[in-house]
Amino acid sequence: MRVLKYAILGLLDQKELSGYDITRLFKEEVGNFWSAKHSQIYPELKRLTEEEFICYETVIQGKKLEKKMYSITEEGRAELSKWLTTIDPIPETTKDEFMLKAYFASSMSIEELKQQIDNQLSSRKVKLTFLKKRMDDLLEQVNHHITVSSPQFGHYLVLSRAQDRETSYINWLERTLNLIEKEQ
């Protein structure tokens, strides 16, 4: 299944976007739960156009720069709707290289293990700070009042889940460090 196809259709269902806009959204908002590279997005846009799920209009930006502005077609909306209403099984566990290293903790010295945990803890705290800022910005856009019918509700759900995930990870890392320090 081409999940990227549905991610792009969903973005275009919200508003008309250029390929650059879509790439930027994958780096910012969508990147909190799904990743796609520039090299994946543009071929997918071409396929979606060929399948007639999206169309584009070439517009002039500035004096000479042309860009394609993509929009979803009725066929694309039907395809997106079919995917959105499909019940999915729980996904396989995502790959987490740090957790794989943690599994082999007995092969590291205590100092090496603590360094790995400290680095992970620091990175997770930075990420949580970023997510909180994004949430503050989102809530400011809607005057701190979000409802299920708000166009931003999906973004709110994803940001709140990402914050919970990072908070939980940070708490686990701190408990692990405490456990290690008790053993020393």
Tens-place pLDDT, residues 131-147 = 999 999 999 998 899 99
First to last CA, the chain: 49
Q: How confident is the model at residue 66 (pLDDT cuts 50, 70, 90)?
A: confident
Q: Is the pLDDT of residue 157 over 90?
A: yes
Establish if 30 belongs to a structural domain. yes
Q: How confident is the model at residue 179 (pLDDT cuts 50, 70, 90)?
A: very high
Does residue 53 sit in the same domain as residue 111? no
Domain tally, the chain: 2
Establish if 92 belongs to a structural domain. no
Residues 6 or more apart in contact with residue 58 via CB below 8 angstroms: 66, 67, 68, 69
Residues 6 or more apart in contact with residue 20 via CB below 8 angstroms: 67
Q: Examine the fold and report which residue of 27, 60, 84 is the final residue of a domain before the chain moves on.
A: 84
Does residue 8 sit in the same domain as residue 74? yes
Q: Is the pLDDT of residue 184 over 80?
A: no
CATH assignment at residue 21: 1.10.10.10
